[in-house]
Amino acid sequence: MSLTKNRILAINPGATSTKIAVYEEETLLFKKTVEHSVKDLEKYTKIFDQYEYRLELVLQALKEENTELENLAAIVGRGGLLKPLAGGTYQVTEKMVEDLKKAEQGEHASNLGAVMALNLANQLNISAFIVDPVSVDEIEPVARVSGLADLKRISLSHALNMKAVARKVAKEMGKKYEEVNFVVVHLGTGVSVTPHKKGKMIDVNNAKAEGPFSPDRCGGLPVDQLVKLCFSGKYSYDELKEKLGSKGGLYSYFGTMDVREVEGMANNGNQQADIVLDALAYQVAKEIGAMSAVLMGEVDRIILTGGIAYSKRIVDDIIKRVKFIAPVEVVPGEEELESLVFGALRVIRGEEKAATYS
């Protein structure tokens, strides 16, 4: 058995921040969030144009913490919009980086995670990994059918946090993730509701296009009205895409994506705020019901996670509608950096084999 402790750097590039952490085995040595203002990022046309800027900030943060790159055993980055793939820890390869640079599956800040990890790891001659990227796709054939022959349902979700939280809850139950059935709900700026059957996410509302609305997304909409809106001449393609994808949901009603602000409005007598918050919980509960049917009612736990899981009002409202299905666990916030490191450790320790991206 090696006596050297594995020191791992995790990099999580998000829309408005780059988060980094260094762990020694499971122990956090330091964590840092570098915020990026709209002004910092507006000069870059594409996500990949931000590479040098974000890398420089990561290196600066490591220097400030006196972390020698030479002492690292591996680097793990947030996986981006890759081709659909099974969950797990992946070795970062040139092919993966090439796909992320082309952004064929779409632009997302997390597309930079693997690229940063590989370039730094190559300089140090160590491995680079990603874990459970947003494009994890384990859905069953029946879940891919949309109802229109031209369109296919696709899997985009908060897979990293949901799988990590599911593993944690399974462990607390004295079981393995691969032995249990859960409905896991990530309540963040986007919302994912997923049935996890014995370690696989067998369906999901595509968090960018379906299911419940969220702080910034519209979720599923009445299609006939949407088609009319598309051809109304009121909006260009880009404007409508922005309206639905990042200025929908709570933002479209109240001009804020912050649930706490909307709760404040409701507490001060704003009736629309009250009913829209009720509707958010109502739609999430309906989706949990649907995903419980996917699991044929064999649900060991329903798990609520993400930033909105700190909201007592929303959580209580969801629980009252779904507690008849299974016990509900609330795990507020997210531990994405920790999840990345733990994914890398599973491979380094030989508990899991690194998957290959192709």
Ligand X SMILES: Nc1ncnc2c1ncn2[C@@H]1O[C@H](COP(=O)(O)OP(=O)(O)OP(=O)(O)O)[C@@H](O)[C@H]1O
Site for ligand CCCC(=O)O in 142-181 (CB under 6 A): 156-158
**133 vs 88: CA distance, rounded Å:** 9
With binding defined as CB under 6 A, does residue 245 bind ligand X? no
With binding defined as CB under 6 A, does residue 188 bind ligand X? yes
**232 vs 260: CA distance, rounded Å:** 34
Q: How far is the CB of 246 from ligand X (least distance, A)?
A: 11
**327 vs 291: CA distance, rounded Å:** 15
Selected from 258, 274, 278, 335, the binder of ligand X by CB under 6 A is: 258
**Helix or strand run (H / E) with residue 344:** helix 336-348
156 contact choice in ligand X, ligand CCCC(=O)O, none (CB below 5 to 8 Å, kind-dependent): ligand CCCC(=O)O
Nearer to ligand CCCC(=O)O, 13 or 72 (CB): 13
With binding defined as CB under 6 A, does residue 18 bind ligand X? no
Site for ligand X in 307-336 (CB under 6 A): 307-308, 310-311, 334
Residues contacting 317, CB < 8 A, separation 6+: 277, 278, 281, 282, 285
Residues contacting 29, CB < 8 A, separation 6+: 7, 21, 22, 23, 65, 67
How would you classify the pairing of strands 7-13 and 200-201? unpaired
Q: How far is the CB of 190 from ligand CCCC(=O)O (least distance, A)?
A: 3
With binding defined as CB under 6 A, does residue 134 bind ligand CCCC(=O)O? yes
Nearer to ligand CCCC(=O)O, 79 or 88 (CB): 79
Q: At what angle do helices 312-322 and 271-294 cross, to 10 degrees?
A: 40
Site for ligand CCCC(=O)O in 199-228 (CB under 6 A): 207-208
157 contact choice in ligand CCCC(=O)O, ligand X, none (CB below 5 to 8 Å, kind-dependent): ligand CCCC(=O)O
- Residue 295 phi/psi, 5° resolution? -85, 10
Q: Does residue 213 contact residue 280 with C-beta atoms inside 8 Å?
A: yes
Selected from 215, 219, 248, 343, the binder of ligand X by CB under 6 A is: 215
Q: Does residue 19 contact residue 32 with C-beta atoms inside 8 Å?
A: yes
Nearer to ligand X, 16 or 272 (CB): 16
Q: Does residue 187 contact residue 284 with C-beta atoms inside 8 Å?
A: yes
Selected from 133, 190, 195, 212, the binder of ligand X by CB under 6 A is: 190
**184 vs 300: CA distance, rounded Å:** 11
Between the two ends of the chain, the Cα-to-Cα distance in Å is 33
Q: How far is the CB of 244 from ligand X (least distance, A)?
A: 16
Query: By CB neighbour count within 10 A (0-12 exposed, 13-18 middle, 19+ buried), where does 108 fall?
Result: buried
Q: How far is the CB of 210 from ligand X (least distance, A)?
A: 15
**Quick one: which segment of 26-34, 81-89, 149-157, 188-196 binds ligand X (CB under 6 A)?**
188-196
How would you classify the pairing of strands 7-13 and 17-24? antiparallel
Nearer to ligand CCCC(=O)O, 207 or 277 (CB): 207
79 contact choice in ligand CCCC(=O)O, ligand X, none (CB below 5 to 8 Å, kind-dependent): none
Give me the residues that bind ligand CCCC(=O)O (CB under 6 A), please: 134, 156-158, 190, 207-208
Give me the residues that bind ligand X (CB under 6 A), please: 158, 188-190, 215, 257-260, 306-308, 310-311, 334
